[in-house]
Structure 1
Amino acid sequence: MDARAVRLRVLGEIRRKVGFDAYAWPLTDPETAVGTAPLADVPCLPELPRLIRLKYLTPTNRWTTLRPGTVTTLRAATGGNPARSLLWREMLDGYGVADVASAVFADRFGVWAFLDLWRSRPFTGPETATLTRILEPVTTELRRAQAETFVARDGHSPRPGPVVLLLSPELDVLGHTPDTAEYLRVLVPPDDGRAPVPAGAYNVAAQLLANEAGVDGHRPAARVHLADGRWVTLRAAGIVRDIAVTIEESAPAERVALFGRASGLSTRERELLGHLAHGSDTRDLARRMFLSEHTVQDHLKSIFTKTAVRNRRTLLARALGS
């Protein structure tokens, strides 16, 4: 299953065993922890930019501060006083949300997603324990699904950018370059006849606001799967008082780094893959990494096994997208 199907299936199990009223479950760039592919069913979708902005500016139960393998509730984190949360105080209270169960899906290779479950009544200890038990296997499955996106398949995606989307500090769309809508339509397919929603752009822009507010220091950037094995990188930067979000095809080094993490390669294996992507042969690899040629071959065999390829050509075609 792809990452969307994985999340939908898991949500069905959670709804049956725990129950919730609404949810938000975006994937994230494993290095920057910035949201990428959103999946949500919340009552405030018309206020999506405001919701994302408040989520990124709220330190309470922020996914970048949560401990992997645990589920934390808003009630527990605020000592029973959810008004201590900016997101709850400014938005969730108005929608009758009494508690939020939050979790981050992370492992030693990076942060792959975060989940918020909203409910009109508090979550119980046994319910959070049930949610905790799914975190490790679901994290592994989400990472596997991301690795699968590097396999090129027949399909159409826009030509490389860059394209630009201009947002206000409140994340209102102020303008964009001509091809931006085409990219957004592929990134987050809208309902028929509707304009595409720039959810990925909202996330990187909100991360920039979090940087400026001193809430979180991760870079305001995220790599997002576009289609047919292709990846684009979104970046946010301030222009006077507004925010410019650029969307362009991910650079080879960005692809290789993400491919290595998603495939579960060790630090040493990712280093070797990076050298290999620059055209190094076995002798060069051994010299650069201060290893024997025999050890280099052992590392390559391990990489082939983890990435399900049989040779260097296929490995590089998948990692580089060529």
Structure 2
Amino acid sequence: MATEVESLRRALVAEGQTVRTVGELGALVSHRVGLFIPHDGYLLTGLDPLTRAAGFYAKEHFYGAQAAQRLYAERPDIDPFPCPFASLLDGPRRVGVLNADSPEHRRSERLHDVMAGEGFGCELRVALTHGGLPWGLLTLLRTTGSRPFTAEEEARAERLAGPLATALKVFGRGLCAGPNRHAAEPGVVVVGPDDTVRMTPTAVDWLAELNPHPLATAQALGTTVWTVVWMARYSGAPAVSRIPTPGGWVAVQAQLLGAEGGDEVVVTIRPASGAGLLPTFAAWHDITRRERAVAALLLEGLPAKRIARRLGMSPHTVNDHLKAVYRKTGVSGRDELVAVLLAGVAGAW
């Protein structure tokens, strides 16, 4: 198995250099993983590592939108559900299998009904973590009548999770390597308690950019937006995902409309920048706590000497930290870093 893991790692490094879109990344991962774990469909999701909300994703031969919405709106309080993603991200095991025909899984009517209705009989879930942070999720499907995923394949998936997490992380920080080019006005989506959707024209444009697959209707939402809607509903607190895209960082934030609105949720989609983006940006680029503190003051417009006084460092140490940030993020210097993080957007989060 060690040879298989190393083989996958080398392939992802070599072939990943040519990947330019999320769809290409998904196809690459599905092909390489399929050599060890055959499957009929997949969903690869990149996460905001700090909030765990979905960001970019790719899929092929997967559940339909309504089925996925029902299946992944996990509510253990009303429907006992095996292998919730949260338990895989936090628990000792990173892999879980759902089998619609398994006696232990028949307690969940939702699982049985959705999988059977969509023509699938078995699902393998892999939590992709690296460095103590969640970077993504990989879901593999087998159609009804196919053999279930075996214990040996679960063990393989467990060992492949690390290289896959690394691939996601490398892809995500390469996806958004330059200044934010988004000039669109924020988009607003209102999701009713019955999941009816209303949105502004600008939201339609934003959704078209965030979804790698054509949406069925102008009122449809993709995985990214549904995730923050569910999180806001079930936590009662605002939920946000900061997503790297070829045009720059995008923030998708959802919050309950208010006590009288029940489960009505308002979602805002806009360019992400400023101090609110810095923690997520730092995680993607392996920026240390001290380097992040220096970068935060840089965004406030402070020169190196004032940053040094504020943080109790020497100017030489501040410059060393800045050089490390420039190297890790691939920018040429102060102006380009500020352009990447601020993008001239007023009132940024």
Q: Which letter maps to 1:122?
A: P
Partner of 1:149: 175
Deviation per CA, 1:62-117: give whole Å up to 9, x if none: 222214795422359x9961134465145224345443211122223732211221
**Structure 1 residues 34 and 211 mapped into 2: Cα distance closer, same or farther (>3 Å)?**
same
Partner of 1:56: 73
The whole-number CA distance in structure 2 between the counterparts of 1:285 and 1:228 is 30
Quote how far apart the aligned CAs of 1:158 are.
Answer: 5.5
User: Contact 1:152–1:229 at 8 Å: present in 2 too?
Assistant: yes
Structure 1 runs of 4+ off > 6 angstroms?
none
Partner of 2:124: 101
The whole-number CA distance in structure 2 between the counterparts of 1:158 and 1:235 is 21
Q: Which letter maps to 1:24?
A: L
The whole-number CA distance in structure 2 between the counterparts of 1:66 and 1:170 is 29
Q: Single out whichever of 279-288 and 194-203 deviates more from structure 2.
A: 194-203
Task: Please say if 1:91 is aligned against 2:114.
Answer: yes
Q: Single out whichever of 259-268 and 81-90 deviates more from structure 2.
A: 81-90
Partner of 1:128: 154
User: Contact 1:255–1:319 at 8 Å: present in 2 too?
Assistant: yes
**Structure 1 residues 311 and 18 mapped into 2: Cα distance closer, same or farther (>3 Å)?**
same
Partner of 1:36: 55
State, as a whole percentage, how many aligned pairs show the same letter: 22
**Structure 1 residues 109 and 176 mapped into 2: Cα distance closer, same or farther (>3 Å)?**
same
- Match among 165, 180, 188 for residue 164 of structure 1: 188
The whole-number CA distance in structure 2 between the counterparts of 1:272 and 1:85 is 50
Q: Give the structure-2-normalised TM-score.
A: 0.77
SS in 2 for 1:37: strand
Partner of 2:33: 14
Equivalences for residues 288-307 of structure 1 within 5 A: 288-307=310-329
User: Contact 1:236–1:243 at 8 Å: present in 2 too?
Assistant: yes
Q: Give the structure-1-normalised TM-score.
A: 0.83
Partner of 1:253: 275
SS in 1 for 2:85: coil
User: Contact 1:204–1:220 at 8 Å: present in 2 too?
Assistant: yes
SS in 2 for 1:309: coil
- Match among 226, 229, 236 for residue 255 of structure 2: 236
**Structure 1 residues 281 and 79 mapped into 2: Cα distance closer, same or farther (>3 Å)?**
farther
Partner of 2:4: none
